[in-house]
C-alpha cells in the first residue's frame, strides 16, 4: 500500500467483510482498493469514514464494486461517509446509485440479514 492510502480488511464472519479506507483514493491508489474489494465479495461493508479525497477513478471503483456485488448475489454497502464524501456522491449522482448507510453497524446488520 502507499502512504497516501490505507486499506484494512476484516472478515467479521464467513458472510461479511469490512473494508476500511483512509487517505486519498485516486488513479494511482484505486487498484489497491479494487483488489481488496474483489477479495471481499460478495457481502462487503465499505467504511469511508477516514477517506479524505476521491477522484473520478476512485469513484468508478466504488460504482463497479456495487455492480459486481449485485451480480454475485451479494451487496456492497458504503458507510461512514463524511460530509465531504456525501457532498461528492450527491454532486455526481452516486447517492442515487450506491447503497449508502449512515453507520458501519447498520451496514453490517443489513449484510448479515441477507
Q: Could you tell me the pLDDT band of residue 87, with boundaries at 50, 70 and 90?
A: very high
Q: CATH classification of 5-113, choosing from 3.40.50.1970, 3.90.1170.50, 3.30.750.24, 3.40.190.10?
A: 3.30.750.24
Phi first, then psi, for residue 79 (nearest 5°) are: -140, 170
Within a 13 Å sphere around the CA of 84, how many CA atoms are in the beta-carbon half? 10
Instruction: Say yes or no to pLDDT of 99 above 60.
Output: yes
> How many whole angstroms separate alpha carbon 3 and alpha carbon 17?
23
Instruction: Say yes or no to pLDDT of 43 above 80.
Output: yes
Which grid cell is 56?
A: 473520478
How confident is the model over 49-75, as pLDDT tens digits?
Answer: 999 999 999 999 999 999 999 999 999
Establish whether the linkage from the previous residue to 11 is cis, with ω within 30° of 0: no
What is the model's pLDDT at position 1?
45
What is the model's pLDDT at position 14?
87
Global pTM reads: 0.94
Which grid cell is 84?
A: 465531504
Of 58-62, 80-84, 87-91, 109-113, minimum mean pLDDT range: 80-84
How confident is the model over 11-39, as pLDDT tens digits?
Answer: 998 899 999 999 999 999 999 999 999 99
Amino acid at each position: 500500500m502507499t502512504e497516501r492510502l490505507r486499506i484494512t480488511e476484516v472478515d467479521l464472519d464467513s458472510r461479511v467483510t469490512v473494508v476500511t479506507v483512509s487517505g486519498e483514493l485516486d488513479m494511482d491508489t484505486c487498484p489497491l482498493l479494487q483488489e481488496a474489494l474483489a477479495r471481499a465479495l460478495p457481502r462487503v461493508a465499505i467504511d469511508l469514514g477516514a477517506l479524505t479525497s476521491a477522484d473520478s477513478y476512485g469513484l468508478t471503483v466504488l460504482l463497479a464494486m456495487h455492480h459486481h456485488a449485485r451480480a454475485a448475489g451479494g451487496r456492497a454497502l458504503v458507510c461512514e461517509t463524511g460530509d465531504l464524501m456525501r457532498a461528492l456522491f450527491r454532486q455526481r449522482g452516486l447517492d442515487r446509485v450506491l447503497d449508502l448507510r449512515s453507520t458501519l453497524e447498520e451496514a453490517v446488520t443489513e449484510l448479515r440479514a441477507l
